[in-house]
Amino acid sequence: GEKAGLQPGDALIALNGTPAPTLREFFQALLALQVMAGDRIKVGVRRKGTTVEEEVDVVLGSSYDDPER
C-alpha cells in the first residue's frame, strides 16, 4: 500500500485520538507510546481543509541530517 497512508501537504494533528497540534507534540506522543517499527497507529491529519484519520504502519528511517547518508 501507500507509504504511511499520508499524502503531500497533509498536516499531522493527532496521534491515536490525542490532539498533537505541533510536530514537537506529535513526536513527544510517539515517544510516550513507545512506538516500534511495525506497530500500527492512528494519525489525524488535516488534508485540503478536512480532517481525516489514517491507520498507518510505523516505519523507522534515518533523519535528513544523518551524517552517514
Q: What pLDDT score does 1 carry?
A: 42
Q: What pLDDT score does 2 carry?
A: 46
Contact 11, 19 (CB under 8 A): no
Q: What pLDDT score does 68 carry?
A: 53
Residue 19, classed as helix, strand or coil, is strand
* Residue of 2, 1, 3 whose CA lies nearest to 60: 3
* Amino acid letter, residue 42: K
Q: What is the pLDDT along the chain (69 residues), one digit of tens a residue?
A: 444 478 899 999 999 999 998 989 988 998 898 888 889 999 999 999 999 998 988 887 765 554 554
Per the rule left: phi > 0, alpha: psi between -120 and 50, beta: everything else, 36 is beta
Q: What pLDDT score does 44 carry?
A: 94
Q: For the whole prediction, is pTM greater than 0.85?
A: no
